[in-house]
Each structure stands twice: as C-alpha cells, then as structure tokens.
Structure 1
Amino acid sequence: MKESDSSPEIGQIVSINKGRDTGQFAIVIQLIDERFVFIADGDKRKFDRPKKKNIQHLQCYDYISPEVRSSMLDTGKVTNGKLRWALGKFMEDVIWKL
C-alpha cells in the first residue's frame, strides 16, 4: 500500500506519525482547511470527540472507506461502530498482507 500524495479526503485511512497517538490508525472525518483535519477511530477517539491533526503529522494511505465516506456525505455523521469496522477491514485487507 503506497502513500497518497494528494491532500486527505473524507473516509481516508491515515497513520498518525506525531503526538501521543503515534503509530495508530484513524479515519479522516472532516477537512478543516488545507493544513488540518479531524480524525477519529471509533474506539479511543470517538466521532463526537474527534482529534484535530495537522496533515503533516499524518501518513495518508491510498485507501478510502466507501462506507464511511458515503455516510459522512449523506448524513454528516458516522457511527463509531462503522469507524471501527472500516479500520478492521483496512487492517485485514491491507496491513496484514504486507
């Protein structure tokens, strides 16, 4: 799985490179501006309390969860269960195959 060169998109899986959550995965749930996004993982970082992160502190993967993306675009929110499921599917499909 290669890194994405473009700016993050809603539903995109990211790896956190700086801060106390270094090494963990999350999903972009909102774009704030060209430098910052809100991320959540549905477990430690719930949808209703997302983390604001500088995109320079994230590694973006070429993997966008269609379920999370469509839910966010349709209703403006996503369940924590769906976030956890999408991260689990990403781990199963991508990380464990490396």
Structure 2
Amino acid sequence: MIDPDSIPHIGQMVRIMKGRDAGGVACIIQIEDSRFVYIADGDKRKVDRSKKKNVNHLHLFDFISPEVKNSIEQTGRVTNAKLRFAISTFMNDYNFLMEGE
C-alpha cells in the first residue's frame, strides 16, 4: 500500500481534521498541487460541489478506492453513488482504523 504521510492520490480516503466537516470521511477526487486537493463524499459534499482542502487539514488513510480511481482515470469523473459506495465499503472493511484512532 501507500505511506499515509506521502503525497495524496486520486481515490484515496481521508478523514477531515479541520473545518465544518471535521471528523467526516471523504475521498480525494482531484489534486490541484502538492498542497491542495478536492474532496467529496457523494452525500453531503457532492462531486459537482467538491471542497478544496489543504492536505495539512486531512488525515490520509492507507487506502485508495480502485472504483473511484479507475472511474476518474477512464472517464475524468466519478458519480456520487460510486463515491458513497466506496466510502461505505471502506468504513465497513476498515472499521478498525476508525475505532483505533
């Protein structure tokens, strides 16, 4: 897998540490530069209204959703439903990460 402290990747799951959505889980859908990314969760934060976040305000999990990554690489976009599915799968499969932090 990837080093959680490394650079962010498309499809990577993150926990929001600062701001209104603090404590929530989202997915990186676009990388602006080494400092800023765009995140969405497909529910409260839809793809068409993604949030620009400073990487320092996010906890990067050691998990990249293959569905989200492949969709963005192949079509240039991802659906809200696919994001919701990827996040719920991550939360169910990697629940120990959420409880252990």
| TM-score > 0.5 by shorter chain | yes
Task: Give the whole-Å Cα distance in 2 for the aligned partners of 1:96 and 1:8.
Answer: 22
Aligned counterpart, 1:92: 92
| Superposition TM-score, scaled by structure 2 size | 0.91
AA partner of residue 95 (structure 2)? I
Distance 2:45 2:93 in 1: 22
Q: Unaligned 5+ residue runs, structure 2?
A: none
Give the share of equivalent positions with the same residue, in percent: 57
Aligned to 1:74: 74
TM normalised by structure 1 equals 0.94
Question: Structure 2: which amino acid aligns with 1:53?
Answer: K
Q: How do 1:50-69 and structure 2 match up within 5 A?
A: 50-69=50-69
SS of 1:90's partner is helix
Report the residue type matching 1:71 in the other structure: S
CA RMSD of aligned residues (A): 1.6
Superposition misfits of 4+ residues, deviation over 2 angstroms:
none
Q: Secondary structure at the match of 2:28?
A: strand
Supply the distance in 2 between the matched residues of 1:5 and 1:22 (Cα, whole angstroms). 19
Aligned residue pair count: 97
Match of 1:44 in 2: 44
Structure 1 residue 7: deviation in Å?
1.0
